[in-house]
Amino acid sequence: MTLLDDPDTGLAPLQFAVTKNLAAKTTAQREELLRDPVFGTAFTDHMVDICWSVGGGWHRPRVQPYGPLSLDPAAAVLHYGQEIFEGIKAYRHADGSIHTFRPRQNGLRLQRSARRLALPELPVEYFVQSLRELIAVDGAWVPSGADQSLYLRPFMFAKEAFLGVRPANKVNYYVIASPVGAYFKGGAKPVSIWLSEDYARAGKGGTGAAKTGGNYAASLLPQAEAYEEGCDQVVFLDQDRNVEELGGMNIVFVYKDGTIVTPQSDSILEGITRDSLLQLAVDRGHKVEGRDVSIDEWRSGVASGDIVEVFACGTAAVVAPIGVLKGRGFFDEQPTGPLALSLREELTDIQYGRREDTHGWLVRLDG
């Protein structure tokens, strides 16, 4: 199930117009914000903005001061939710250079999301260039502390002011960025998961495989239920009671013979972290399977000792071992083992330049 990091197609780069933020944070203010960043609360001084229209294609590429967008109240996104996004990080290496991880995969996934949401497909070259352009002005915002990074949030939505239900003829693509530290307080300590039985995140033929706001909107009520139940995160099932994924992370099961199994279906977001961790596991000689895992297989596998580790993974949190699965009428402690954390260490070592990048996953963003 390994995704291929495609080669360049040779598309000419866009010519970005850069407008510097005259009210940019001072060095002291930025350093204060970088000291202990809380996920998604502070933003850099600039953002990328590219327009698209049916007649004009991708045009007016800009880097401009970070700030509010002006939106017509009839903008289609506000009514019908035609929106997609990505999440990817920039890492500072010990020599000061700035790198990102498998950006072409995020660019290709943005294209798949665009197809499903009837939005225009941004060429992958433009996607990668948009990250470089933002880093060119806001590189100083990439923090250098342990587990810190600059979270990049590319997104695209229907801007056309039109209340008819059809794909918009005017769309904008943006990239904003936010310095982040560890996603879960307490680092990689095991998380507790609430099994959502009343709510689905996605349906067959729906938008589950796309990174679109509606999927996350649908996950908020069950996530609130998880908090009420004292759990950190929620896990969803499909209509056949197969495990799908968490609200914002994929799930992986480790069996006692070393086989690693992860749900694979067209209602799950194909995670780049998961793909990379599974590749590292294959490199170590593990067998990896993408297939249905029913909730009964999960619970009975843990009870019998066949399943020896369960973990969640995604860009924001990297790897989160699952310590508890709670559902209506049950509380199953989960076995934890060394694999999740050692794969996490290997992956983050590559991302932060502490270990050789034998798969060619890193792409330098500065210089």
Ligand X SMILES: Cc1ncc(COP(=O)(O)O)c(C=O)c1O
| 66 Cβ neighbours under 8 A, 6+ residues apart | 21, 43, 44, 45, 46, 47, 176
Cα→Cα distances 165→111, 210, 212, 216, Å: 22, 20, 17, 21
Residue 263 burial (CB count, 10 A): 22
Q: CB 216 → ligand X: shortest distance, Å?
A: 7
Q: How far is the CB of 18 from ligand X (least distance, A)?
A: 29
The CB-of-106 to ligand X minimum distance in angstroms stands at: 7
SS3 call for 238: coil
Q: Quick count: other Cβ atoms within 10 Å of Cβ 213?
A: 18
Of residues 105 and 129, the one with the C-beta less far from ligand X: 105
107 vs 301 by CB, closer to ligand X: 107
Q: Is 255 exposed, middle or buried (0-12, 13-18, 19+ CB in 10 A)?
A: middle
Query: Of 103 and 143, which CB lies nearer to ligand X in the complex structure?
Result: 103
Residue 24: both structure tokens together: 């940019």
Identity of the residue, 52 or 100, whose beta carbon is nearer to ligand X in the bound complex? 100
Given the complex with ligand X, which of 37 and 314 has the nearer CB atom?
A: 314
Shortest gap between Cβ of 60 and ligand X (angstroms)? 29
By beta-carbon proximity to ligand X, the closer residue of 168 and 365 is 365
CB of 194 to ligand X, least distance (A): 16
CB 247, min distance to ligand X, A = 6
Question: Which residues make up the interface to ligand X (CB under 6 A)?
Answer: 87, 245, 248-250, 269, 271-274, 314-316
CB of 112 to ligand X, least distance (A): 12
Residue 218 contacts residue 201 (beta carbons within 8 Å) = yes
List b or e across 69-99, with b for residues whose CB sees 16 or more CB atoms inside 10 angstroms. Answer: eeeeeebbbbebebbbbbbbbbbbbeeebbb
85 forms beta bridges with 155
Interatomic CA distance for residues 274 and 313, integer angstroms: 6
Q: How far is the CB of 242 from ligand X (least distance, A)?
A: 15
Cα 335 to Cα 79: distance, rounded to the nearest angstrom: 45
Whose Cβ is closer to ligand X: residue 45's or residue 270's?
270
Nearest-10 crossing angle of helices 103-116, 272-283: 130
63 versus 209: smaller Cβ distance to ligand X: 209
What are the Cα distances from residue 164, in Å, to 74, 76, 77, 242? 10, 8, 12, 37
